[in-house]
Amino acid sequence: MSDYKLAVLAGDGIGPEVMVEAKKVLAAVSNKFDLKFELNEYDVGGIAIDNHGQALPPATLKGCEDADAILFGSIGGPKWDNLPLEQRPERAALLALRGHFDLFSNLRPAKIYKGLENFSPLRADIAAKGFDVLVVRELTSGIYFGQPKGLEGEGEEEFAFDTMRYTRAEIRRIAISAFEAAQKRNKKVTSVDKANVLVCSRLWREVTEEVAQDYPEVELEHIYIDNAAMQLIRDPSQYDVMLCSNLFGDIISDECAMITGSMGLLPSASINSDGYGMYEPAGGSAPDIAGKGIANPIAQILSLSMLLRFSLNEVAAADAIDTAVTKTLSDGILTGELLTPENRDQAKSTSQVGDYVASLIA
Ligand SMILES: NC(=O)C1=CN([C@@H]2O[C@H](COP(=O)(O)OP(=O)(O)OC[C@H]3O[C@@H](n4cnc5c(N)ncnc54)[C@H](O)[C@@H]3O)[C@@H](O)[C@H]2O)C=CC1
Ligand SMILES: CC(C)CC(=O)C(=O)O
Ligand SMILES: [Mg+2]
């Protein structure tokens, strides 16, 4: 019997809706594998601004510090869009948590599931070649963590800037994450950069080449971000691990999600060097569908599986969730955004999908 303490931060928009489903699945695996979890829920993001006047209240941060891992939903939304940047949920809570816990290694696994081949926006013959990519994104540096500056000057001379900055050490540790992951997969790392114009990308290439020396069995290739975005549509089967800086990984991972059929299928793990992590869907709070009971809960459920696997080493429980999700999708238990207009009447609700996954584990 294990005792784990999780900080549960559902957040805004669809966050609380999909979190309910992840908790159902957690209850099912707790039962099946005789695991004991203490779940402590905290406000974060817009809801925390409304209730406590700040996006990351001290009690939330303390709860995360006291936990074995964080299960995170998503934050932000139109209600808080006009706040100054430093108070907005995305910066004041999400980037703050990533920075505070040094969660530099962001893993975003995307694949076309069996049964969903026809729901990928890829051309059928391209989808048939397969798609199974792990985006390894640097998460605590680069342009999102450079000092924003603005606004200065006046009139048409008024300006703002963001700085992109990477140290060798920051590049080295994320490159090692990518090579370690590739060793357990198909032994290929594609490093995505813009080394034809950016100095940071020149350093990125140099350090990535150095790290590659320690992994002779892993192939390393470099590609410019614009070409990578295009190649992912032309022939994504050529990729295994895609190593990206913070900005490029943010963009490329949304593209990978959509290749699988939906933003709502892509989970993520954000891990530090001690194995502590925050686990969240790669997508956002989806204000356009929030409150309708139609959000896809799979990314949240798979984020829970990653939490069990990477931070708690509960591999059997994680495997059980992955197997149940695979069967749910191949059984055609799908939320509406995955379906075509002709068969959308067969769409299942958020809670029907969560119930089905949980029932397969029980
Ligand atoms: N980790 C986080 O908390 C993130 C927060 N955001 C924030 O979320 C808010 C909305 O951002 P958007 O740019 O609209 O991106 P988004 O990822 O929330 O939504 C983009 C599109 O994907 C769809 N989508 C996303 N998750 C889905 C799911 N589980 N099931 C079905 N469809 C899903 C949405 O309906 C929308 O059409 C913004 O405030 C943004 O800053 C954005 C990305 C990550
Ligand atoms: C606030 C953003 C950096 C969050 C996001 O888009 C992401 O982590 O993918
Ligand atoms: Mg993003």
Mean pLDDT of the chain: 96
Known binding residue 59? Answer is no
In this model, does residue 36 exceed pLDDT 60?
Answer: yes
- State whether CATH 3.40.718.10 applies to domain 1-104+262-362: yes
Ligand at minimal distance from the CA of 265 is 1
In this model, does residue 1 exceed pLDDT 70?
Answer: no
The fraction of the chain above a pLDDT of 70, given in percent, is: 99
Ion ligand 3, residue ranges at CB < 5 A: 250
In Å, how far are 42, 77, 104, 362 from 30, measured between CA atoms?
21, 33, 29, 10
201-234 pLDDT, tens digit each: 999 999 999 999 999 999 999 999 999 999 999 9
Atom of ligand 2 nearest to the CA of 144: 3
**Protein residue with its CA nearest to atom 1 in ligand 2:** 90
In this model, does residue 330 exceed pLDDT 80?
Answer: yes
Instruction: State the fold for domain 121-260.
Output: Isopropylmalate Dehydrogenase (3.40.718)
Q: Are 69 and 304 in contact (CB under 8 A)?
A: no
CA distance 69 to 90: 20
What is the per-residue pLDDT for 334? 98
Average pLDDT score over residue span 94-107: 98
Q: For a pocket test of ligand 2, which of 85, 88, 250, 263 has the largest count of ligand atoms closer than 8 A to its C-beta?
A: 250
- CA nearest to 239, candidates 117, 132, 136: 132
**Confidence bin at 166 (pLDDT 50/70/90):** very high
- CA nearest to 106, candidates 325, 287, 285, 266: 266
In this model, does residue 151 exceed pLDDT 80?
Answer: no
The fraction of the chain above a pLDDT of 90, given in percent, is: 92
Ligand 1 pocket, 83 CB below 6 A? no
Structure tokens at 331: 């059984």
Amino acid occupying residue 188: K
Ligand 1 pocket, 139 CB below 6 A? no
CA distance 22 to 324: 13
Amino acid occupying residue 39: L
Backbone torsions φ then ψ of 135, nearest 5 degrees: -85, 125
**Confidence bin at 154 (pLDDT 50/70/90):** confident
- The catalytic site residues sit at 144, 194, 226, 250, 254
Question: Does residue 112 come out as left (phi exceeding 0), alpha (psi in the -120 to 50 range) or beta?
Answer: beta
What's the CA dihedral at 41, 46, 50, 55 to 10 degrees?
Answer: 70
In this model, does residue 158 exceed pLDDT 90?
Answer: no
What is the per-residue pLDDT for 159? 87
Question: What are the start and end residues of each CATH 3.40.718.10 domain in the chain?
Answer: 1-104+262-362, 121-260
In this model, does residue 2 exceed pLDDT 90?
Answer: no
In this model, does residue 76 exceed pLDDT 90?
Answer: yes
Q: For a pocket test of ligand 1, which of 20, 21, 74, 246 has the largest count of ligand atoms closer than 8 A to its C-beta?
A: 74
Known binding residue 309? Answer is no
In this model, does residue 157 exceed pLDDT 90?
Answer: no
Atom of ligand 2 nearest to the CA of 90: 1
CA distance 55 to 83: 11
Which comes out higher in pLDDT, residue 3 or 311?
311
* Residue 6: strand pairing partners: 39, 69
In this model, does residue 81 exceed pLDDT 90?
Answer: yes
CA distance 255 to 234: 12
